[in-house]
Structure 1
Amino acid sequence: MTSTRTRPGARRPVGRAATAFLALTLAACAGTGPDGPGSTASPEPASPPAESTAGDDPTGDSTTGDDPTSDVPFAADASPDTADPSADAALVVTDVRVGRHDGFDRVVLDMEGTGAAGWSVEYVDAAADDGSGDPVAVDGDGVLQVRLSGMAMPGEDPDITEYDGATIDPEGTEAVEEVVYRFWFEGYTTAFVGVDEPGLPFRVFALEDPARVVVDVQDPADG
């Protein structure tokens, strides 16, 4: 819009109608673009929510933003995946959930406490308990060991209740056959994910508010 200039000497008072017209004109010019005097930039669009649950997803972790599940194709392989815990990590697993997604199954380990957990996730020949080495029965043709670090001893905080350890046999999944949780041992917590085929690609990442570690396992047909 072309700006309007007042001629020198035109200083006589104007009526109410003229005043209102002038105010509307200036307001319109103020929003015409970034280069004009008094113009204002368009408001920034609202950031997407950190988490947005889709449909009846039992994991409640269909996320947007920096969620790596937005990658296409499935950005994963079968090699071990590791991450270090934060220096102040002292967490307890409070729930384990499994859900079906488009092209993969998701295992979520919910946590409470402080800091961020680390992890070591890899395929093992057989599931075995830490310390004793006793074998652990896990359904599936392959076993993915999920070992979390930076974990506090359950019971240290009376307000945090550890997951009850129930084995999960999910329905409607393609890759995950069973999840077996094995409690805490010397700063680590281990769970075993039984999968339909050995060596299925997987990916691991952490989410916050609440704290959780997510393991996605690709469908056998998509590998």
Structure 2
Amino acid sequence: MRMRILAIVVAVLAALLTAPAGGNAAVAPSAAPRAVDVVDLRFATHPGFDRVVIDLRGGATPEFRDGRSRRFFFEGSGKPVPIRGAAGVWLSITGNGHDAAGNNIFRGPRLARPGFPTLKALALTGDFEGQVTFVFALRHRADYTVRHLSGPSRLVIDFQHR
């Protein structure tokens, strides 16, 4: 019985290794999802909250991480980001801000100081190895939410006013 199974495995491996390249191969192409592209960022203030919208393209629902910090540094150089607040939030998105040739596809602001009731300033601090990171300097420690909306795909971050 073991010899029969071994013979079948060897035959299958031999068939796979000698299969012609191109359209006649029996192996299906990979269906890996395309990475999300981070293409723009906009912001506005509303009654009760300040909003940041990060526009995305391609891929599925983006993966992201977020957290709080009062001090921010540019990824790679480690230099301090020239924005300060009484509180702050960072957001790292699994995606790309550039294409395969290294050309920027992110067209939004790299540093902005809107001076809203809660959102004081923001910056793009990293676009490296499939992670795009933004930081947000706040006037006070505020509750915030991050959610994904589709049609078109975007991340929406709302910072509550006092």
C-alpha contact 1:89 1:117 (8 A) present in aligned 2: no
Question: 1:212 is matched with which residue?
Answer: 154
C-alpha contact 1:165 1:182 (8 A) present in aligned 2: no
Alignment-mate amino acid for residue 169 of structure 1: R
Distance 1:133 1:160 in 2: 21
Higher share of residues assigned strand: 2
- Do structure 1's residue 103 and structure 2's residue 48 form an aligned pair? yes
Q: How far did 1:129 drift? A: 2.3
TM-score relative to the length of structure 2: 0.70
Distance 2:160 2:107 in 1: 25
Which one has the largest radius of gyration?
A: 1
Q: 2:131 aligns with which of 184, 188, 200?
A: 188
C-alpha contact 1:148 1:189 (8 A) present in aligned 2: yes
Distance 1:156 1:165 in 2: 21
Greater relative contact order, per chain length (Cα 8 Å cut-off, separation 6+)? 2
Give every structure 1 segment of 4 or more consecutive aligned residues whose post-TM-superposition deviation is greater than 4 Å. Answer: 157-160
Q: How far did 1:159 drift? A: 10
TM-score relative to the length of structure 1: 0.53
| Ranges in structure 2 where 5+ consecutive residues have no aligned partner | 1-31
Question: 1:169 is matched with which residue?
Answer: 113
C-alpha contact 2:38 2:56 (8 A) present in aligned 1: yes
Distance 2:39 2:121 in 1: 18
